[in-house]
Amino acid sequence: MLRWVRQQLGFDPPHQSDTRTIYIANRFPQHGHYVPQKFADNRIISSKYTVWNFVPKNLFEQFRRVANFYFLIIFLVQLMIDTPTSPITSGLPLFFVITVTAIKQGYEDWLRHKADNEVNGAPVYVVRSGGLVKTRSKNIRVGDIVRVAKDETFPVDLVLLSSDRVDGSCHVTTASLDGETNLKTHVAVPETAVLQSVANLDKLVAVIECQQPEADLYRFVGRITVSQQTEEIVRPLGPESLLLRGARLKNTKEIFGVAVYTGMETKMALNYKSKSQKRSAVEKSMNSFLIIYLIILLFEAILSTILKYAWQAEEKWDEPWYNGKTEHERNSSKILRFISDFLAFLVLYNFIIPISLYVTVEMQKFLGSFFIGWDLDLYHKETNQRAQVNTSDLNEELGQVEYVFTDKTGTLTENEMQFRECSINGIKYQEINGKLTPEGFSEDSPDGNRHSLMREEELFLKAVCLCHTVQINADQTDGADGPWHANGIASPLEYYASSPDEKALVEAASRVGVVFTGTSGDSMEVKSLGKPERYKLLHVLEFDPNRRRMSVIVESPSGEKLLFTKGAESSILPRSKSGEIDKTRIHVDEFALKGLRTLCIAYRRFTPEEYQEIGKRLHEARTALQQREERLADVFNFIERDLELLGATGVEDKLQEKVQETIEALRLAGIKVWVLTGDKHETAVSVSLSCGHFHRTMNILELVQHKSDSTCAEQLRQLAKRIKEDHVIQHGLVVDGTSLSLALREHEKLFMEVCKNCSAVLCCRMAPLQKAKVVRLLKTSPEKPITLAIGDGANDVSMIQEAHVGIGIMGKEGRQAVRNSDYAIARFKFLSKLLFVHGHFYYIRIATLVQYFFYKNVCFITPQFLYQFFCLFSQQTLYDSVYLTLYNICFTSLPVLIYSLFEQHVHPHVLQSKPVLYRDISKNAHLGFKPFLYWTILGFFHAFVFFYGSYLLMGEDTSLLGNGQMFGNWTFGTLVFTVMVITVTMKMALETHFWTWINHFVTWGSIVFYFIFSLFYGGIIWPFLHTQDMYFVFVQLLSSGSAWFAIILIVVACLFIDVLKKVLYRHLQPTSTEKAQLTEAGSGINCLDSMCCFSDGETACTSVRRMLERLMGRCSPTRVNSVCKVTEETCI
């Protein structure tokens, strides 16, 4: 019961040890001392709340917000003491905001519960009591043997026991986890692979020891101990044995596996847990403004309290004849009375803090984020991928970016590799018509037209065909001669690979005569010019970013033990002791200068004694449960030494479309671009030049190949001196990973000074954590610039999470970057529209939204403060309590919300064609102290005009009705309120540049609604109201011609100054944006591009967007196309 209560409240029991012991089929030891470990059940819980904790947990989260907590305090004060306004005035708006947010969050959580129930109730088959039992997914326990059939999804994380294949292998696709569509091979240990029936598996006695759950999809450390008769056999378990929940079984009839991680402890569930929350600069500004307004509120309340007691110092005002004190009031403590009066004034003025600001901003961000996904300009037709929004909290941050950190491979390039050149035994080769031709020879020359391969060439190509993780379509591997024609030339095999480099190399080898034809059990089959050869795969030394290489140990047909290794030249050449090392190094540099990606290939022969020693060390390291990675790294380094260099390869990765134009546009927008890549120096520089990151006229500075702090510091000082001397010339900086580590260790300030004076920075040979460190360095510098990181691979995840805004590219290196990003796009070129159009719009919209909210609340409460000077600070309210309650909720809420969703102050095509306009909004220009001060002063000015204008026009002569009846204080307050509602609504209209019928409807509709509501509210005696102060007041007010004259005069007086200021500034000091608006005005552009105006004239697909397009009434494709053409001509 206690455990169930803990689970309902969201607490997970802590694990007691670093490892878990799993008895297969839950056959626990029979001795009485064993206490089974407690494991989570297999229910997936993606929901945030339960029935039991929804109310307390949701309320706790909502009242963590300063404004909500503040209004709760005000509401409680109103309940406890005698205040001038009803508790309803604070309680109802607070209840409305809390309820709307709770309903939204509750509905979203109900949908998650519904999805969870579907997953948890899915049927599965489990081996129990010697047979297959059908049960629900949520009933699977750790230790259960589960059967999964072809094309089914794994319901838990399983260790593979057996499959329908003799070797115990199976193929899976992890597209739903990391986006990789290639088939991955998983293998069972030999002792369990032979158990292919339920009866045999039911007799299995085995124990699995493995690590506790962790989120890393590609890491699993464990071992299985199988009891066979009198002996126990121990086998290592790694990622190749683990089948992840969410992955799908392919090309295999069925498999059996034992559940090791269940429910919320599966790797899929651990990866879905929310990452650290990022906060936008706008949100920080909003909180600062709230504090300033809180100070204004306290100042007004304290001043009013002091003035009240100063006024009451005279006896005639302390107790006037019409307001006599009770005996209790005369005898009460002065301090308590002062506190009570202070709190009463606090309640009276509390609406200066806009409670509905948070909920409006939340709605604006949530609804506004749909426009990115709906924009067909961000849709990539070839891959059928549209832009994706993972968080809507950072929309406006897209308009504030100052630094872009980008990966190279797959982000700037296509990640589609094509083999171009190679170096074998010190000789350069090119592929010409499917043949390897030495450099300088043509196909027609005697040496160029060869039908055989030299020994070195054949060994090199065999190394390429054996040292990889490439797989072949299962349909093509049936039959030994299936993929071959009679002339011995291979028909194309369909290869699958997680690395495009490997695929390009294996395909190139097959074209020149050495073909990888697949695997069979633990053998790899190769055909060299039609002659089949079978190599036994003994060990795979997996690739990792630290070693930067991978290796295989194979047994050749002659029985020889061989190691084949490939990797970066920096990790292969230092470990080579023979071969044409110097010539190959020169060739690698030449390949890199052409922008080719390079790999070096080497091999080593083992004596029987050496191989025995290696096998022993590998087994010990792989069966270790503690520090397995460190032990394996030591063994791998021991094995991969004394290599004989075979050669190097050069593979081309084409640039993506419009990369150069996008980088140039970012530069014009004032955004600095840093390229962070793992490629070698020469390759990275070549690609930077070709993509426009570096200009040919740019002075390239280098900080590379430094081994000590002293040389690195000296070079940095020299670079800083050169930059000062050549201040006119643009500079580009190239820095490598080792030099960067030295620079960041003790010379961080000097390094940052050099970087900030460079137009472009290129960091090569970067490890993933170094990328994140560079981003953090810029992010935390004194200027606190807004950073954006964009990448496509798992090695970019740390950088993407570190930056203020992280963007994932939907590339060919899986979906890890996309899953961990804030936004995802299909191509780098889409970044320009994302920033220059969507980012620009979002920032302008929310900046105006936030400041307008503060402005209209200053207008609202300041007359209340001024009124106290005319009522002896008696805390008499100027407005009726219903008006106090509905001002922010009904009368002024919709125009600003619609503005914040649809406003386009400049046409999207103009923004994209003129990136320089992005500079106008940089560095939080519209939410700085000056704009905030302007809006605040404007609010106070308008409030003074409302109050004193009404007072001067109607305060002195109160008998303005034809029958001589006088106006009262409620009529005066209603007049001020009426003028205020019209003025603040008209002010929003003045700020609107892009008008649709929706804007017209909510703007004029809000004013009409106010009049209709006031007529009904004041025209009927409402029985549930304890006072009828407003009865017939509004009707009486509107029946006076003088009142109408006053309303019109005051509204015009308020807005005239604002209009005059706008006109003068536009003519005398226009910004680039205002100049663009003037240019645009002549072209007659008027289309809501982010919703319905696309380059090809298509309309969006979703039903919601179609509804909005019909509502807008402006989406005729013919008209859109003609308008877009006019715009482009105007922009040029």
> pLDDT tens for residues 847-899?
999 999 999 999 999 998 998 888 877 878 888 878 888 888 888 889 999 99
Task: Compare 129 and 968 and report the one with higher pLDDT.
Answer: 129
Task: State the pLDDT at residue 1095.
Answer: 37
Instruction: Give the DSSP H or E segment for 304.
Output: helix 281-311
pLDDT digits (tens, 9 = 90+) for 113-131: 887 888 889 899 999 887 8
Per-residue pLDDT for 492 more than 80? no
Report d(CA 983, CA 919) in Å as an integer: 32
Residue 500 token pair: 């495009």
Task: State the pLDDT at residue 14.
Answer: 45
Q: What is the largest CA-CA distance in the chain?
A: 124
Report d(CA 301, CA 307) in Å as an integer: 10
Task: State the pLDDT at residue 523.
Answer: 84
Task: State the pLDDT at residue 621.
Answer: 86
Per-residue pLDDT for 13 more than 70? no
Lowest-confidence range among 4-13, 276-285, 425-434, 788-797? 4-13
Read off the pLDDT band of 794 (50, 70, 90): low
Alpha helices in 128-265 (DSSP H): 175-178, 190-193, 198-202
Is the dihedral angle over the CA atoms 360, 365, 367, 371 positive or is it negative? positive
Contacts of 618 (CB under 8 A, 6+ apart): 539, 632, 635, 639
pLDDT digits (tens, 9 = 90+) for 98-114: 888 788 778 878 877 88
- Determine the average pLDDT of the residues in 9-20: 59
Read off the pLDDT band of 940 (50, 70, 90): very high
Residue type, 250: K
Per-residue pLDDT for 321 more than 80? no
- Determine the average pLDDT of the residues in 763-779: 82
Per-residue pLDDT for 344 more than 80? yes
Per-residue pLDDT for 1112 more than 60? no
The per-residue DSSP string of 770-820 comes to HHHHHHHHHHTSTT---EEEEE-SGGGHHHHHHSSEEEEE--SS-SHHHHT
- Determine the average pLDDT of the residues in 53-69: 83
Task: State the pLDDT at residue 1087.
Answer: 39
Which residues face 234 on adjacent strands?
A: 225
Give yes or no: 822 in active site. Answer: no
Residue type, 248: R
pLDDT digits (tens, 9 = 90+) for 989-1028: 999 988 888 999 999 999 999 999 888 887 776 655 556 6
Alpha helices in 127-216 (DSSP H): 175-178, 190-193, 198-202
Kindly report the number of other CB atoms within 10 A of residue 513's CB atom.
Answer: 23
pLDDT digits (tens, 9 = 90+) for 63-91: 877 777 878 888 888 788 777 677 777 77
- Determine the average pLDDT of the residues in 1083-1097: 40
Task: State the pLDDT at residue 1088.
Answer: 39
Residue 234 token pair: 């121990």
Is the dihedral angle over the CA atoms 708, 709, 712, 714 positive or is it negative? negative
Per-residue pLDDT for 1113 more than 80? no
Contacts of 770 (CB under 8 A, 6+ apart): 676, 737, 740, 741, 763
Report d(CA 1026, CA 774) in Å as an integer: 65
Report d(CA 1055, CA 376) in Å as an integer: 40
- The catalytically annotated residue of 157, 178, 407, 880 is 407
Per-residue pLDDT for 312 more than 80? no
SS3 283: helix
Most confident of 476-485, 644-653, 960-969, 1088-1097: 644-653
Task: State the pLDDT at residue 575.
Answer: 87
The residue behind tokens 């006037």 is 320
Residue 391 token pair: 């968080």
The per-residue DSSP string of 638-666 comes to HHS-SEEEEEEEEEEEEEPTTHHHHHHHH
Share the mean pLDDT of the chain: 80
> What Cα–Cα distance (Å) separates residue 363 from each residue in 107, 367, 493, 975, 1001?
15, 6, 52, 32, 19
The residue behind tokens 């109310």 is 55
pLDDT digits (tens, 9 = 90+) for 671-698: 999 888 877 676 677 778 778 888 767 8
pLDDT digits (tens, 9 = 90+) for 941-962: 999 999 998 888 776 655 455 5
Per-residue pLDDT for 478 more than 60? no
Task: Compare 765 and 12 and report the one with higher pLDDT.
Answer: 765
pLDDT digits (tens, 9 = 90+) for 588-631: 888 888 878 788 999 999 888 888 888 888 888 888 777 777 88
Instruction: Give the DSSP H or E segment for 589.
Output: helix 581-593
The per-residue DSSP string of 924-943 comes to TGGGSHHHHHHHHHHHHHHH
Task: State the pLDDT at residue 1111.
Answer: 40
Task: State the pLDDT at residue 1043.
Answer: 82
pTM of the model: 0.71
SS3 732: strand
